[in-house]
Amino acid sequence: MPNPDQTDPPQPRRPAPHVAIANHKGGVGKTGTAQGIITAAAEAGHRVLAVDMDAQGNLTRRLRALVPEAPEDRAAASLASVLQNPALGEIARILVPCGYSDQTYRDRITIAPAHLDQELLSLTAGTAASEKRLLRAMQGVVDDFDLIVIDCPPNLLSHQIDMAWSAADVLILPCEPGYDSVEAARRIHERVDRDRHTLNPDLAVAGIVVNRYRPNLKIHQQREQDILNIRGTEHVCPERIHELVALKNQEELAQPLRADRTDGKKAADQFQSVYAWMNQQIKTVMEKTG
Ligand SMILES: Nc1ncnc2c1ncn2[C@@H]1O[C@H](COP(=O)(O)OP(=O)(O)OP(=O)(O)O)[C@@H](O)[C@H]1O
Ligand SMILES: [Mg+2]
């Protein structure tokens, strides 16, 4: 009979990192990066919760979330309904599996789906601690996952962003090598520096992922240098995501990158590298913040 006093006490489970994918410039690859990281994590055997904070619902669709068939039932089964004033852990009632045919993804990816009515959530802002509603909705539920990925809408000062960033440990910034995208990345760093003490004191930018990179273009090399100058080389993922057919196709085909017969393997492998880098960055950030 084992002596209960001598058995090891249960180890507290390290909470899963909460990663928000953000850039207020539209179309820079936030959802593509979220999808790439989520599928890479699933391929590595990890259980991922994908939280679609963008009313456009692009991540929900691209992961083929198994939302209710009847369109009139979808708002009530989405974050639009949960985030109005959630009970603790209420997100659990809307979680659905990924609809990819490959069991690897279906078993390991769970989605909190978005709905267009999420646009209306700004009307519910303003009361004390309303920015904590996503955090509140996820409480306890996140214990079942190894990674939480939050896809953000393309804005900077909004109730949706405040909820996403209040729930996140770190931000990952996809950034195109273009002027507007680089400026947007700079402004995100400024907002985190300025507002984190009120929004979320632990929030940090884990780093930038350069997306849609064309190495032979001189202008891309210049903008790449601008990106490296924002917070230094260490802050930028060494893997540049190239402009790839599979990454363009994902908007239309809504399938795992690896299933794309053009350059899907290359794209999926690139996101494996991004995922490994991201985990390292998170570790470094967590060590700094204790
Ligand atoms: N590296 C890439 N190569 C080719 N096409 C890409 C690449 N990255 C993104 N795209 C395409 O660019 C478009 C915008 O990408 P995505 O939807 O991921 O951006 P986003 O930042 O999430 O947009 P939004 O701001 O609207 O949420 C999509 O059609 C996507 O397929
Ligand atoms: Mg998007």
Q: What pLDDT digit, counting tens, does each position of 184-197 carry?
A: 999 999 999 999 99
pLDDT tens readout for residues 115-143: 999 999 988 888 888 999 999 999 999 99
| Residue 9 pLDDT exceeds 60 | no
pLDDT band at 2 (very low <50, low <70, confident <90, very high): very low
Q: What percent of the chain has pLDDT over 90?
A: 89
126: alpha, beta or left, given left = phi > 0 and alpha = psi -120 to 50? left
Question: For the domain 18-289, what is the CATH superfamily, name and number?
Answer: P-loop containing nucleotide triphosphate hydrolases (3.40.50.300)
Tell me the average pLDDT across 19-38. Answer: 97
| Strand ranges of the sheet holding 96-97, from the earlier edge strand across to the other edge | 96-97, 109-112, 48-52, 147-151, 18-21, 170-175, 204-210
Tokens of residue 220, six digits: 């891309």
Q: Is residue 258 within 8 Å of residue 39, measured between CB atoms?
A: yes
Please state the rounded mean pLDDT for residues 186-209: 95
Give phi and psi for 66, each to the nearest 5.
-85, 70
Summarize the confidence of residues 166-174 as an average pLDDT: 97
Query: What average pLDDT score do residues 140-157 get?
Result: 96
For residue 128, the model assigns a pLDDT of 82
* CA of 110 relative to ligand 1 center, distance in Å: 22
- The residues whose Cβ lies within 5 A of ligand 2, an ion, are 30-31, 58
What pLDDT score does 14 carry?
A: 60
Average pLDDT for 206-235: 96
* 118 and 160 Cβ atoms separated by less than 8 Å: yes
Q: What share of residues in the chain are helix, strand, coil (percent, to 5)?
A: 50, 10, 40
Cβ of residue 250 lying under 6 Å from some atom of ligand 1:
yes
User: Residues 64-77: what's their mean pLDDT?
Assistant: 97
Q: With a 6 A CB cut-off, is 60 part of the ligand 1 pocket?
A: no
pLDDT digits (tens, 9 = 90+) for 255-286: 999 999 999 999 999 999 999 999 999 999 98
Of 25, 61, 181, 212, best ligand 1 pocket probe by most atoms within 8 Å of the beta carbon: 212
DSSP per-residue string spanning 227-252: HHHHH-GGGB-SSPPB--HHHHHHHH
Structure-derived torsion over alpha carbons of residues 26, 29, 35, 41, reported in degrees to the nearest 10: -130
- Provide the whole-model pTM: 0.95
Choose one of 242, 251, 273 to mutate for the ligand 1 pocket test, by most ligand atoms within 8 angstroms of C-beta.
251
